[in-house]
Amino acid sequence: MKESRKSSIEIEKEEFRKIGHQLIDDISDFIGSIAQKPVTPNESPSQLQEILGNQPLPENGKPASELISTSTDLLFNHSLLNGHPKFLGYITSSASPIGALADLLAASVNPNVGAHVLSPIATEIEKQTVRWLCEFIGVPSEYGGILVSGGNMANFTAFLAARTAKAPKSCKEDGIQSTSKRLTVYCSKTTHTWIEKAVILFGLGTKSIRWIQTDPSNKMDLQALETTIKSDLENDCIPLMVVGTAGDVSTGVVDNLSEISTICKKFDLWFHIDGAYGVPAAIIPKLRKLFHGMEDADSIALDPHKWLYSPLEAGCALVKNPQHLIDTFSSHPEYYNFSNSGDGVAQNFYEYGLQNSRGFRALKVWLTLQQVGRSGYEKLIGEDIQLSEMLFDLAKKHPELEAVSQNLSITTFRYIPLENPKNKEYLNQLNEKLLNELQAGGEVFLSNAIVFEKYCLRACFVNFRTSEKDVKEIMEIIIREGRKVHLKLSQQLS
């Protein structure tokens, strides 16, 4: 080896500049023309495999410029574009362009945000981001937390903190089998699937979940919650936590948080809120009352990559007393020298969550919060809600549509043909087929929800690119396709 090492992985300054400029030009064009593209090219796995080719691991390297240019084409032309104004599926937002720049910048410096000494400014930026997220949703500054990859991980992080805090202390050393009593957790039937993963992964088992029924408004039935807790206490169980949902994934309903909080206090249970989707709506003054009781939560999960429009991945776990995270996740191996911190006490994020080495996902959240500001978010989120209400009203007025539910920014509705509109099973079948047609068509992307046993089309507005014009056009597409699918299906069945 010569004195200065020439390595195949390095990209020299001038070349990097050239490739980078070209890439940024291409991305600008992509963002500028996204509305004219299909939402999805709807290619099959085998078509995509053919495009990719079946070559083995490359033996020798290729020029970076060529690789970046090929990948740009691949991604722009063969992706589902959740940044498209007519993408309203699941809860995946359009990504803030500044978030894309932030990820490039973060990866270029590549701080390891596991320890302060390895990521001095990045750690402080993440701490500030967490503080701002608390302010955003309106919980006191005593909360602390950590950025994670998404809602599932945020909920897992809080779940583990709850288990540490509320399970018998012997569990830390002897495991949960150290008690013969069953540890139980409480949540409504609308709770996201993360809870099942959590009880399986963290040793409680699926029988530990008490699925509490919902009332007619789809909120957790609190009478049933209290009865179930009491009966478990009489039957040798150890209730740990109640999960309230702030914006359920299907229909956007927010549980009655303040009453859940009262019940948690009464029985000394951990109160967790899954606000992965909905909690940013607390920034809207007239919706604030929906979230009363949130400031009593022991922990809250939220997802900047949903309604804060951050690019994937960014979730956040907030805990009222962050010491619970340290009690749960901290360890001090001899090979870490992370405790010398100059003036204050350095916060080492590896002690606050599941990850050890950690990327700088805070940067994209931090920058978007500053680019948009509190007032900007109030406007964006408010507009998303208005568009959802507009779609609901249009569906209500249209003779071939039934408006089914509207909460936060989620609208569910279904197509109902003018003739024979009452056959329950037929309508479910028809709407499922319609959804598949719409998704494959590439003009609009909706998802589905089963609401009151009705198979519904579901539109979730977490998309700053969607306009009223889009909503009107989407209505036309649905009616046009609904008629077609009905014609075909009714002919098949007759």
Ligand X SMILES: *Cc1c(COP(=O)(O)O)cnc(C)c1O
> Smallest distance, Å, CB 404 to ligand X?
19
Among the listed residues 83, 99, 114, 151, the single contact to ligand X using CB under 6 A: 151
Residues 6+ apart with CB under 8 A from 397: none
The DSSP letter of residue 84 is S
> Smallest distance, Å, CB 305 to ligand X?
6
Distance between CA atoms of 325 and 453, rounded to whole angstroms? 40
Nearest C-alpha neighbor of 223 from the set 259, 192, 257: 259
Binding map of ligand X across residues 85-104, x = CB under 6 A, - = no contact: ------x-------------
Residue 349 and residue 115 in contact, taking contact as beta carbons nearer than 8 Å = yes
Contact between 219 and ligand X per CB under 6 A: no
Among the listed residues 40, 82, 94, 152, the single contact to ligand X using CB under 6 A: 152
Q: What does the block give as tokens for 373?
A: 């500001």
Sheet holding 209-212, edge to edge: 144-148, 315-319, 299-302, 270-274, 237-245, 182-188, 209-212
Contact between 252 and ligand X per CB under 6 A: no
Nearer to ligand X, 277 or 461 (CB): 277
Distance between CA atoms of 419 and 410, rounded to whole angstroms? 28
Among the listed residues 85, 99, 145, 150, the single contact to ligand X using CB under 6 A: 150
> Smallest distance, Å, CB 274 to ligand X?
5
Sign of CA dihedral 324, 329, 333, 338: negative
Residue 157 and residue 322 in contact, taking contact as beta carbons nearer than 8 Å = no
> Smallest distance, Å, CB 217 to ligand X?
17
Contact between 411 and ligand X per CB under 6 A: no
Q: What does the block give as tokens for 220?
A: 């957790």
Contact between 192 and ligand X per CB under 6 A: yes
Binding map of ligand X across residues 354-373, x = CB under 6 A, - = no contact: --------------------
Q: Which part of the chain contacts ligand X (CB under 6 A), choosing from 270-278, 351-359, 414-422, 439-447?
A: 270-278
Residues 6+ apart with CB under 8 A from 243: 155, 185, 186, 187, 188, 191, 195, 272, 273, 274
Nearer to ligand X, 152 or 466 (CB): 152
Contact between 315 and ligand X per CB under 6 A: yes
Nearest C-alpha neighbor of 147 from the set 162, 128, 164: 128
Q: What are phi and psi of 77, to 5 degrees?
A: -100, -10
Q: What does the block give as tokens for 295?
A: 């400031």
Q: Which part of the chain contacts ligand X (CB under 6 A), choosing from 148-156, 201-209, 398-406, 416-424?
A: 148-156
Binding map of ligand X across residues 231-250, x = CB under 6 A, - = no contact: --------------x---x-
Segment 272-311, which members bind ligand X (CB under 6 A)? Answer: 274, 276-277, 303
| Number of chain positions touching ligand X (CB under 6 A) | 14
- In the complex, the residues that contact ligand X under the rule CB under 6 A are 91, 150-152, 155, 192, 194, 245, 249, 274, 276-277, 303, 315
